[in-house]
């Protein structure tokens, strides 16, 4: 059903006869259309001026690569107020561990416009319980020692449901990038945090001034005040010119358009905190740090296997607690689990790519992955999570961030679909 | 003897480092003026300590609700329109529009769901009205907050909201929020023994 670059490469190798057959049936949920004509190998059919621009100024991807983000089905974007809500990254087409900045998932507070901020006018203030309140220009921040780290971000709304078709639908609210900026601990030390401080309140400069409370211990540990993403300036949709990176915490803490950090002595329940309040401390704990989570991106919902034989099962694993140590795969619905190989570096709080050599026998089966992080915490199945909460599995909604195992069903005709019921 | 001297040197060095950590290392950035901090600081603690002077009543809020365009998106009755429900309805008004996600209905109307009345004040002050955020004056925010609290049966119509009275409002969902039992620590799982 779905036609991915992976499938396309495979069928191109098989030659024109097969390709013709595939073209007849290929369609796509992610907006991909089959190539209607062969690529111009000599490039002569393009305007020479356009070609020069392509080679000189800012490179674009091939027009044959058409993987795109889509808004979540739960709310259209833009909505009737012109606001953009949550937009999903096309994980089914992903390779490696870095999400291209143009495909990075987008989530906004109540629905937002992307503000246009002139970086020369942007200011960042640290104040509250500090000895020396400070205001920085972007140029001043860039004079300070910076670090680059690879981290994922995941939205609490990344919750697979039975009606979802593709891995973009089920898991598309997570992405991973290289972030460059100044350690927040350096800035807080420069300001001099006072005794008795225990939280920070971070705030953006966009129209709603989105704001979250973050424990001071986390702020002093590994948070970054970022101006760079994947080797260039942050994208406006990701908070240009400045965003807070709170590694491993859910997306809402990664304040975009960062303009202010106030050091305080209590939890503030500010704009973004309010939407996530829960009377149960256990659920509250599951809405801060993201648990170990993984998903198979190939084969996944919408993919079409071209027949029995060898396939590399590929996917991503991540944890808010640190690095991924192990990923296991089952191809028999959970009866037996086998170690997958880690196919990328395993950075702390980062997507890690895994692979598993698989010979599909052409029979209907269910494939799943589960991961273990550096603390030894194992990603639970929905049944295990339901048992913990003492709830029946039927209709069970995982409290807090849902990090449960995702099943994909491979039918005997090679069609892959969501295995959640 | 030698090792003791070394130990002393290490201790002095250690003291120096503690000392230097308390003064700026880089000297980059400038000190904001008190006015700048006041202008920028729109955070409101649940105890209301940053609330500005001002006052407002439900009656004033009812007029502002229409004048400022709130009714345009949230509906004249505060429910059944495109934007989230603000006033608990009798359950008979149904919106013709799909409820926006996150869907706000009678069960989680902010003036009932929020554990602190200050959160409503903060939300209106920073986030409303759509397209004109940050333009409401403190008196207007107090009045609109009073209007929503009154219409949802939390306060009396005659109650005036100001920096003293607003934090004292006892919200029906006062016990509705918890923090994780354990404070966050590097290298710990989010919830011990969670599978």
The model's pLDDT over A123-155, given as tens digits with 9 standing for 90+, comes to: 999 999 999 999 999 999 999 999 999 999 999
Question: DSSP character for A176?
Answer: E
Q: What is the pLDDT of residue A29?
A: 40
What is the average pLDDT score of chain A?
89
Percent of chain B with pLDDT over 90: 65
Q: Does the pLDDT value for residue B107 go beyond 80?
A: no
pTM exceeds 0.80: yes
Q: Does the pLDDT value for residue B1 go beyond 60?
A: no
Q: What is the pLDDT of residue A12?
A: 37
Q: Does the pLDDT value for residue B16 go beyond 70?
A: no
Q: Which of residues 144-183 of B touch A (CB under 8 A)?
A: 175-183
Q: Please list the alpha-helical segments (H only) found in chain B.
A: 2-21, 34-40, 58-67, 70-74, 110-113, 117-127, 138-151
Structure tokens at A203: 């705030």
Instruction: Give strand pairing partners of A202.
Output: A212, A261
Percent of chain A with pLDDT over 70: 89
Q: What is the pLDDT of residue A271?
A: 87
Mean pLDDT of A230-257: 97
Condensed to tens digits (0 to 9), the pLDDT of residues B78-89 reads 988 888 889 998
Strand A258-264 vs strand A123-128: parallel, antiparallel, or unpaired? parallel
Which chain B residue is nearest to residue A271, measuring alpha carbons? B123
Pick from A183, A282, A402 the residue to mutate for testing the B interface (most B CBs within 10 Å).
Answer: A282
Distances (CA, A) of A407 to A47, A228, A396: 47, 35, 16
C-alpha torsion sign, points B40, B42, B43, B46 = positive
Residue A391 forms contact with B (CB below 8 Å)? no
Contact B32 A134 (CB under 8 A): yes
How far apart CA A175 and CA B57 sit, in angstroms, is 46
Q: What is the pLDDT of residue A45?
A: 64
Q: What is the pLDDT of residue B101?
A: 52
Contact A277 B101 (CB under 8 A): no
Q: Does the pLDDT value for residue A3 go beyond 80?
A: no
Q: Which among A243, A240, A256, A230 is positioned nearest to A118, based on CA atoms?
A: A240
Q: What is the pLDDT of residue B9?
A: 54
Q: Does the pLDDT value for residue A171 go beyond 50?
A: yes
Residue A143 forms contact with B (CB below 8 Å)? yes
Q: What is the pLDDT of residue B22?
A: 67
Instruction: Give strand pairing partners of A203.
Output: A211, A260
Condensed to tens digits (0 to 9), the pLDDT of residues A324-364 reads 999 999 999 999 999 999 999 999 999 999 999 999 999 99
Condensed to tens digits (0 to 9), the pLDDT of residues B23-53 reads 889 999 999 999 999 999 999 999 999 999 9
Residue B46 forms contact with A (CB below 8 Å)? yes
Confidence of residue B114 (pLDDT cuts 50, 70, 90): very high
Confidence of residue B8 (pLDDT cuts 50, 70, 90): low
How far apart CA A159 and CA A171 sit, in angstroms, is 7
Q: Does the pLDDT value for residue A58 go beyond 60?
A: yes
Residue contacts between A and B (CB atoms, under 8 Å): 179
Mean pLDDT of B121-137: 94
Confidence of residue A275 (pLDDT cuts 50, 70, 90): confident
Question: DSSP character for A251?
Answer: G
Q: What is the pLDDT of residue A327?
A: 98
Q: What is the pLDDT of residue A78?
A: 82
Among A36-40, A61-65, A202-206, A287-291, name the one with the lowest average pLDDT: A36-40
φ, ψ of residue A59 in degrees (nearest 5) = -70, 140
Structure tokens at A56: 């000189």
Q: Which residue has the tokens 């609490």?
A: A156
Q: What is the pLDDT of residue A79?
A: 80
| Selected residue with higher pLDDT from B13 and A71 | A71
Q: Which among A5, A35, A27, A8 is positioned nearest to A103, based on CA atoms?
A: A5
Confidence of residue B65 (pLDDT cuts 50, 70, 90): very high
Q: What is the pLDDT of residue A108?
A: 85
């Amino acid at each position: 059903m779905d036609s991915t670059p992976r499938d396309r490469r495979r069928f191109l190798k098989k030659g024109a006869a097969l390709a013709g057959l595939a073209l007849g049936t290929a369609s796509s949920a992610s907006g991909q259309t089959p190539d209607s004509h062969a690529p111009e190998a000599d490039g002569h059919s393009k305007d020479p001026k356009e070609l020069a621009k392509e080679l000189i100024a800012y490179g674009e991807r091939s027009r044959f690569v058409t993987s795109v983000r889509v808004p979540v089905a739960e709310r259209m974007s833009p909505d009737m107020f012109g606001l953009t809500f949550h937009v999903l990254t096309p994980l089914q087409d992903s390779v490696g561990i870095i999400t291209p900045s143009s495909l990075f998932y987008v989530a906004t507070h109540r629905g937002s416009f992307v503000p246009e901020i002139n970086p020369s006018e942007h200011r960042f203030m640290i104040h509250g319980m500090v000895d020396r309140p400070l205001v920085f220009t972007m140029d001043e921040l860039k004079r300070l020692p910076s670090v680059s780290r690879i981290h994922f971000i995941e939205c609490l709304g990344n919750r697979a449901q039975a009606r979802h078709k593709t891995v973009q639908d089920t898991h598309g609210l997570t992405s991973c990038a290289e972030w460059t900026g100044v350690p927040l601990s350096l800035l807080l030390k420069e300001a001099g945090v006072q005794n008795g401080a225990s939280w920070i309140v971070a705030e953006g400069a966009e129209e709603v001034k989105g704001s979250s409370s973050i424990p001071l211990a986390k702020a002093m540990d590994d948070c970054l005040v970022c101006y760079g993403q994947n080797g260039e300036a942050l994208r406006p949709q990701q908070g240009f010119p400045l965003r807070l990176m709170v590694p491993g915490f859910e997306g809402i803490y990664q304040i975009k358009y960062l303009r202010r950090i106030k050091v305080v002595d209590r939890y503030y329940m500010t704009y973004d905190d309010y939407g996530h309040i829960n009377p149960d401390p256990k659920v509250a704990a599951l809405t801060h740090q993201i648990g170990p989570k993984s998903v198979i991106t190939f084969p996944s919902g919408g993919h079409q296997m071209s027949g029995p034989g060898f396939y590399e099962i590929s996917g991503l694993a991540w944890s808010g607690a640190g690095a991924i140590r192990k990923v296991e795969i089952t191809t028999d619905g959970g009866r037996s689990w086998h170690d997958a190989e880690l196919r990328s570096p395993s950075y702390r709080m980062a997507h890690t790519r895994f692979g598993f050599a698989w010979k599909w026998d052409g029979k209907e089966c269910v494939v799943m992955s589960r991961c273990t992080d550096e603390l030894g915490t194992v990603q639970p199945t929905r049944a295990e999570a339901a048992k913990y909460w003492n709830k029946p599995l039927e209709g069970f909604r995982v409290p807090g961030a849902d990090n449960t195992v995702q099943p994909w069903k491979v039918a005997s005709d090679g069609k892959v679909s969501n295995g959640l019921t | 003897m030698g090792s003791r001297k070394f130990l002393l040197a290490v201790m002095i060095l250690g003291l120096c480092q503690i000392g230097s950590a308390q003064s700026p290392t880089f000297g980059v950035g400038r000190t904001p003026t008190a006015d700048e901090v006041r202008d920028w600081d729109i955070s409101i603690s649940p105890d209301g300590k940053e609330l500005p002077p001002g006052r407002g009543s439900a009656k004033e809020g009812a007029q502002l609700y229409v004048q400022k365009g709130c009714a345009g998106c949230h509906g004249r009755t505060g429910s059944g329109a495109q934007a989230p429900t603000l006033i608990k309805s009798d359950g008979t008004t149904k919106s013709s529009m799909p409820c926006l996600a996150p869907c706000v209905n009678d069960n989680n109307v902010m003036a009932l769901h929020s554990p602190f009345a200050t959160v409503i004040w903060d939300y209106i002050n920073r986030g409303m009205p759509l397209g004109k955020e940050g333009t409401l004056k403190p008196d207007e925010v107090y009045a609109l907050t009073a209007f929503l609290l009154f219409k949802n049966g939390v306060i009396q119509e005659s109650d005036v909201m100001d920096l003293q009275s607003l934090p004292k409002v006892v919200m029906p969902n006062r016990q509705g929020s918890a923090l994780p039992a354990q404070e966050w620590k590097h290298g710990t799982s989010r919830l011990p023994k969670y599978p």
